[in-house]
Amino acid sequence: MMPILAFGAVVAAAPLLVASNVVLNFLVFTMIIALAAQGWNLLGGYGGQYSFGHAAFFGTGAYLTAILQVRFGMNAYPAFAIGIALAALVGLAIGAMAFRSGLKGSYFALVTLAFAEVFRVLANAAEITGSAAGILIRLQADPANFQFAERGTFLWVAGALVTLALVATRALERSRLGAQLVAVRENEAAAQALGVDVLAVKLRAITLSAGMTGAAGGLYAQYFLYLDANIAYGTWISVEALLAPIVGGVGTVFGPLLGAVILHGLAEATKSIAGRIPGIDLVVFGIVLILVVRFPPRDLPGLLGRWRR
């Protein structure tokens, strides 16, 4: 728990030491991506069920948080909580359909991608989501509305949520469910032969994963106060939620956080050197992924350690 507490202390001190809004904005966005990546890691890292469509959960949490405020006048905090709950239910529903049908591996990945794309198309056409124009949350910079005048305050909130996600992941890692998830990941047939209810374990994992990713979506909505279908259900978030754990260390507590920091740090450094060339950050992500996949151990910290030795 000490590394998690140390991370919480660093995030708590950052707004007191950093005055630049650019840096604070980078840190907040990195925390949002780290939270979504941690959600993916619960299912893909520990459970071995790789998803290409976590945008379905991110967008559900984001849109419901926004819609309940804009269309129904609900306070942001219960809207945020309901968004997380609905994202978890969406994950449970998708998991029930996919896992009961025996889908796994690339088939499961493609099904999740298909659901995310269906949600994107529906959100782009539905009136309640603002259709193609998107939905704008009214600016009311008041903590009672889950909006803050200072970016540093929002960083504290985002950092607290990521810290809770780290604690939850550590607890899962040491729990019976965590052991069952790893068993399913390593050998599903052997786990089932030992008495593990494989379907139930997968459903719990995807529900927790979707809820955590939905929390990242709600946080995004509250920070940027604007959504459209390509933001909420876009492939960008599915890619980043997938890449961060792979780069930082899949199936580890700090892997998603480390991967998010590395990827966005490299992307921002590249933009500052090469200028604001459209897509330059994706080029960097691709190069890092190729290096990580090509040279074992297949995460950046392990790869750097190997080269250092």
Residue 177 located in a structural domain = yes
**pLDDT number for residue 306:** 59
Please indicate, yes or no, if residue 247 is contained in any of the structural domains: no
Q: How far apart are CA 264 and CA 243, in angstroms?
A: 11
pLDDT for 85 equals 97
Residue 271 included in any domain: no
Residue 255 forms part of a structural domain: no
Q: How many CB atoms lie within 10 A of CB 298?
A: 15
Q: Which of 183, 55, 43 minimizes the C-alpha distance to 120?
A: 55
Host H or E run for residue 135: strand 135-136
Query: 173 in a domain, yes or no?
Result: yes
Query: What's the number of domains the chain is made of?
Result: 1
pLDDT tens track, the chain, 309 positions: 888 999 999 999 999 998 889 999 999 999 999 999 999 999 999 999 999 999 999 999 999 999 999 999 999 999 999 999 999 999 999 999 999 998 988 999 999 999 999 999 999 999 999 998 999 999 988 999 999 989 999 999 999 999 999 999 999 999 999 999 999 999 999 999 989 999 999 999 999 999 999 999 999 999 999 999 999 999 889 989 999 998 888 889 999 999 999 888 888 888 777 776 777 777 777 787 777 777 666 566 665 555 566
Q: Is residue 77 part of a domain?
A: yes
pLDDT at position 208 is 96
Phi/psi for 136 (5° steps) reads -115, 125
Which of 274, 244, 243 is closest to 261 using CA atoms?
244
Q: Range of 53's domain?
A: 2-234
